[in-house]
Amino acid sequence: MTQQAVKLIECPRDAMQGWHHQVPTEQKIAYINALLKVGFDTIDFGSFVSPKAIPQMADTREVLEGLDLSSTQSNLLAIVANLRGAEDAVAVSKDRIRYLGFPFSISETFQLRNTNKTIAESLDEVQAIQELCIKNDMQLVVYISMGFGNPYGDAYNPEVALRWVDELAGMDIQTISLADTVGVAEPDTIKYLFSTLIPAYPSVDFGAHFHSAPHNWEEKISAAFNQGCRRFDSTIKGIGGCPMAKDELVGNIATENLLQFLSFKVDTDALREAQQLANAVFI
């Protein structure tokens, strides 16, 4: 396997969105600019969502304006929760944002909680955002939120996830990431889903966005990697999680662990600088 086959998505947005105090805009800009030098495929830098729902992301437009993309190979990704947010992202992108990410939960309870729409309504949103992305030379990344189960008692088994992926693949979505939103994924389920999906949809780039307790991150990454997954989300120091899920027991996969597991080469000096800034941001 070549290194080029692996895509690492660094997610400062996921780390910041639920942080217990507001991170100043200038500090966000400095941190993300440092991340842009490391060598990640993509930086999930912000979101165009309601500031009432996620106040930490209210300054995403200002952050975007402050980013230096002149010498980076990394792409930018912004999360949107509806068509209006996608339109806002397109309006300010100026060809700077490559990807829009949409959280598509296959738990009805969580989709209502997260986007105030049913799954069926959200599917219509996906179609509209996909059309908007195509018109504006952007790509839509759909996250299958609660893709490995949910804590709400909504019906789940792996076949539920497969059915919704089939719906999304039919819309010509090129990137679909399975998200373990509350850290419940079991290795056998991870293996089953990726081993089934990757051969079935060769034109889709499947990713993994795992939330995990510190003791079991490796079994999740290993299960996905061994079945051919080559797109992984993580954050420096493993900070983050989903504030809408209200589960403080799980965070993101730590980038440091992922780099070691994959033997992935980055600019070590730039990484060290970003880690030092993270120590100042997340205190």
pLDDT for res 250: 55
Per-residue confidence at 20, pLDDT binned at 50, 70, 90?
Answer: confident
How many CB atoms are located within 10 Å of the residue 141 CB?
A: 25
For the residues 63-81, what does the mean pLDDT come to?
97
State the chain's mean pLDDT as an integer.
93
Minimum mean pLDDT range among 28-37, 68-77, 112-121: 112-121
pLDDT for res 154: 94
- What sign does the dihedral 186-188-191-193 (CA atoms) show? negative
Residues 269 and 133: their CA atoms lie apart, in Å, by 35
Per-residue confidence at 136, pLDDT binned at 50, 70, 90?
Answer: very high
pLDDT for res 213: 79
159 secondary structure, DSSP code: H
Surface-to-core class of residue 280, CB atoms within 10 Å of its CB (0-12 exposed, 13-18 middle, 19+ buried): exposed
pTM greater than 0.75 (yes/no): yes
pLDDT for res 150: 93
* 232-283 pLDDT per residue, tens: 999 999 987 554 444 454 579 999 999 999 999 999 999 999 999 999 999 8
